[in-house]
Amino acid sequence: MNVVQMLKEEPSQEVAVTFDDFWSLYPRRIAKKDARRAWDRISPRLHPSILTALFEWARIWNARGEPEFIPHPATWLNGERWEDDFPPGHRPYTSQQARIDTARAEEQVDRKTMPEHVLDAIRKLRK
């Protein structure tokens, strides 16, 4: 079931994104207090977009194998780095469904929905 189907069938199942979700997914956990302050200054309506981008950036950073070059979480948030373009040649997570989910997310003005793979990652973190 993709995100759009899930939201149509059960709109109450939308996952509220928290700082703890962000912190758990961020691959370089440093200066948590500063990161929390930066997170709190960002509109909650942007949180799903942030986690969706973070999921991809974490894959990119981990593939590079240079953890010392991953920006501090507060720096990444304060710089609105979730808006950065991915490196050339980067392919979004999984297959055609990820491309469909991404296209649907881009069509939405407020971007409140997240791709299924990001929702699954949050659910696993919360277990």
Mean pLDDT of all residues belonging to the chain: 79
* Whether the predicted pLDDT of 31 surpasses 80: yes
- pTM for the whole thing? 0.64
Contacts made by residues 85-90, CB under 8 angstroms, sequence distance 24+: 86/56, 86/57, 86/60, 87/60, 90/56, 90/60
pLDDT digits over 97-112, tens only?
455 555 655 555 445 5
State the pLDDT confidence band at 117, using cuts at 50, 70 and 90.
confident
Q: Where are the alpha helices (DSSP H) in the chain?
A: 3-9, 19-25, 32-40, 47-64, 73-78, 96-107, 116-126
pLDDT of residue 90: 78
pLDDT of residue 51: 93
- Cα 118 from Cα 58, distance rounded (Å): 12
- Cα 51 from Cα 28, distance rounded (Å): 15
pLDDT of residue 7: 36
pLDDT digits over 57-77, tens only?
998 998 888 889 999 999 999
- Cα 123 from Cα 51, distance rounded (Å): 13
